[in-house]
Chains A and B, each alone.
Chain A
Amino acid sequence: MRIQKITQNNKRHELPRALQTGFPSAATHYTETPIDINQELVYNPEATFYLRVEGNAYTHLHIFDNDVLIVDRALKPQSKSLLVITHQGNFGIQAYTQVPPESILWGVITYVIHDVR
């Protein structure tokens, strides 16, 4: 029997409470909590790290200079995964299919944050 993690409850529904001082709105029972990016993008907070990309070595993977990677160490790599690996003492980003031998998995990239301003 595998020991499994207790999955997180998605607490998006709020208990209804009319806050209007005048006429209470019919929308009260449909209230939900606002979108929280932390909840949507981070699956395993204890295993999630943020890495800053320097340089343009990974533009072929659509990862650019100054991007921030959300890296999850808890996820199992899949065929389409982009991985952070260490190879001969250095960090590197590789697609699952292109991982060099003798490299060690550090984490799976889930999202790339790219500032477009």
Chain B
Amino acid sequence: MIALVDCNSFYASCELVFCPDLWGKPVVVLSNNDGCIIAANKEAKALAHIPMFEPVFKIKSVLEAHQVHMFSSNYTLYGEMSQRVVQILKQFSPMVEVYSIDESFVWLSTPIGTSYLEIGHAIKNRIFKYTGLPVGVGIAPTKALAKLANKLAKKDPAHAHVCVLNTQHDRKKALQKTPIQTVWGIGARQAKKLKHIGVDTAYAFTQLPRAWVRRELTVTGERLWKELHGARCLKFQTQPPCKKAIGTAKSFGKKLDDLSLIEEACASYVAEVSEALRSQHACARYLSVFLQTNFHSKTAEQYYNSTTYTLPYHTQNTLLLTQAARYALHKIYKPGYLYKKVGVTLSGIVPKSNVQGNLFAAPKHTDTRLMHIIDTLNIKYGKGQIASALTGWRKKEWELIKEQRSSRYTTQWNELLKIR
């Protein structure tokens, strides 16, 4: 059987582990630049007018009226807490597929002297005891059914956050209780199409002829149909597939018109995407840069432009990529505008082993060693400790705002949780 274990309101829950004074109170976590709500605990969700991804400025009065505590996102903390959960899951089974930062699939072998339900509760209780994070567990014969079981585990209090779909009867009841638009793998348009023909639950979906599903929802829809019937189609994956494009585009803390500051931000983003590129042992041929003003402003002059630089050969060398980005940025930058963000994307990505030079330029073998040393030093001493000079030292002037970021309790010795 397969278990899908996922954390309830993950980001908010991570913050709450270290804040007993906020237990039972509404808490939300904000996106980059403290712009939107990306997580809310159950007390915050219970308050009306706090929808997910709502921009904060729109509901500021509601948040203040209910004394909702706001945290800026602390991805370092969330990432480390997520790793703890994964390690705990590995105590229950060697086959753990980390699906996202807060969800994993766990392959469970047949229990001896106990039941799947007991194992589900043991997983939930151990994760809570060790980390303070509340999770829900859904156990079923296939990934899609496990996801479904997990949703029911959370919705129906009778389950106490653990739901096992062991029998045909349980599966049928669960499918009947699940509205079609909440099924994992069914998008909004497909849900609309299905509702149009009277299919409004997962059960009704499984009663459709397989050939119809194949024709109307393609092979992915057919796989989902088979999985909901209890036949495994989705494989156990340990590695995510290699990315075909790697990009980042964070807004500035304040609007910028100074090219030199935008260059610094751009160079920092290039360093980030190059690191991601090297971590999948690949090289890129194309680097795109885009620049945009604030589209939400009704009064500011608007400008958007982007350009793509073709590198002489596939590379993963940050310095080469930074030079390319600088050239590209200079091509599209126009003075006199208030820019909101710059974005960098790498594409034309191939595995490093496949790289060939061209007749006029070839990668130097010392480049690889240099990058490796830089990466090792940055891992040891911190992100961005060794970087190209273009990244500058005025980070505070363009970096995004995180007014209320909590301490990195589990990764920084000088940011430990204080007890008095």
Residues of A within 8 A of B (CB): 1, 3, 5-6, 44-47, 49-55, 57, 68-69, 73-74, 84, 86, 89-93, 104, 106
Q: Is B184 in contact with chain A by the CB < 8 A criterion?
A: no
27 contacts between A and B (CB under 8 A): A1-B112, A1-B113, A3-B118, A5-B91, A46-B87, A46-B88, A46-B131, A47-B84, A47-B129, A49-B410, A51-B416, A51-B417, A52-B416, A52-B419, A53-B418, A53-B419, A55-B420, A73-B129, A74-B130, A86-B23, A89-B20, A89-B21, A90-B20, A90-B21, A91-B20, A92-B419, A106-B20
Residues of B within 8 A of A (CB): 20-23, 84-85, 87-88, 91-92, 112-114, 118-119, 122, 129-132, 409-410, 413, 416-420
How many whole Å from B111's CB to the nearest CB in chain A?
9
CA distance in complex: A1, B419 (Å): 38
Known interface pairs A54-B420, A69-B419; 5 further A-B residue pairs with C-beta atoms within 8 A, sorted by A's residue number:
A1-B112, A1-B114, A47-B130, A86-B23, A91-B420
Contacts of A49 in B (CB 8 A): 409-410, 417
How many whole Å from B416's CB to the nearest CB in chain A?
4
Contacts of B87 in A (CB 8 A): 45-46
Most buried by A among B85, B122, B129: B129
B419/A86 in contact, CB under 8 A: no
In this complex, what residue of B is CB-closest to A69?
B419
CA distance in complex: A83, B410 (Å): 19
Contacts of B132 in A (CB 8 A): 73, 106
Contacts of A104 in B (CB 8 A): 20
B130/A52 in contact, CB under 8 A: no
CA distance in complex: A6, B129 (Å): 17
How many whole Å from B299's CB to the nearest CB in chain A?
45
| Other-chain residue from B112, B113, B417 in contact with A52 (beta carbon distance below 8 A) | B417
CA distance in complex: A45, B132 (Å): 14
How many whole Å from B20's CB to the nearest CB in chain A?
4
CA distance in complex: A69, B419 (Å): 10
| Other-chain residue from B23, B84, B91, B418 in contact with A89 (beta carbon distance below 8 A) | B23
